[in-house]
Structure 1
Amino acid sequence: MESPRSAATPDDRSPAAGSVEVTVSSSPKFWPFAGAGAVVGVLAAMFTALAGDPGGEFTQGSVFGFFAVVFGLAGALLGCIVFLVVDAILRRRTRRAHAVPLDDGGVTR
């Protein structure tokens, strides 16, 4: 009788013939982090502009515009820093695996 674990299980550490050693890792996308940081910065600018006392020299719209640029850039910078931290954490979790090419039976697409 054959055991439930056959010789071709994924736990087998010996590489199959024709297999290629690959590095498997995950990496976050850069732009969602930078964009989310910029959006948080603009939201902080909105709250700052609305919480301030309107002066005679500047309108709330112009104050919001100024703060939106400054806080948006600072938020994008912080988003980039968070991206670098998350990328460094995920880079430590890389592992090596063996990839075996599949035979598609001569079918071309």
Structure 2
Amino acid sequence: MDSSNNPSNTPEHEPAPQNIEVQVYAAPKFWPFMGVGALVGVIIAFISAYLGPESAEISRGSVAGFLAVGFAFVGVLVAGIVFLVVDRITRKKGRRALAVPMGEPEHP
């Protein structure tokens, strides 16, 4: 018996993968936006703490630390909004491209 003609020994022939249409754009990175927002908030907190009037009861360092937490939080919120706006703008400037699958398809 010739096993080369046996259909159970031949691998299944799968159809060729189809090209996929994708949108290509330069996406901004999330964490650098958040880090810069927090850093700007902390810098503004220290400037406002050391330029403001001095209190006899609370040291400037305590005021700076307290303000740094609040201003960093606000800076992260503002940076998140700026990130969303920049991401939306870059998506609109994106272009459509045709992606061609390479290599063997993955089997589960």
Say whether the fold is shared (TM-score over 0.5).
Answer: yes
Distance 1:98 1:84 in 2: 26
Q: Which of these two proteins has the greater Rg computed from alpha carbons?
A: 2
Counterpart of 1:87 in structure 2 is: 87
Q: Do structure 1's residue 60 and structure 2's residue 60 form an aligned pair? A: yes
Cα distance per residue 1:79-100 (max 9 Å; x no partner): 1111011011011122211234
Counterpart of 1:48 in structure 2 is: 48
Which runs of 5 or more residues in structure 2 are unaligned? 1-17, 104-108
Q: Do structure 1's residue 21 and structure 2's residue 21 form an aligned pair? A: yes
Cα distance per residue 1:28-66 (max 9 Å; x no partner): 111111110110000000100110122111000100011
Q: Please tell me the residue identity of whatever aligns with 2:44.
A: A
| RMSD of equivalent CA atoms | 1.9
SS state of the match for residue 23, structure 1?
strand
Distance 1:22 1:70 in 2: 41
Cα distance, 1:23 vs. partner? 2.0
Report sequence identity in percent.
Answer: 51
Which runs of 5 or more residues in structure 1 are unaligned? 1-17, 104-109
More helix by share: 2
Total equivalences in the alignment: 88
Q: Give the alignment's TM-score, normalised by structure 2.
A: 0.71
Q: Give the alignment's TM-score, normalised by structure 1.
A: 0.71
SS state of the match for residue 21, structure 2?
strand
SS state of the match for residue 97, structure 2?
strand
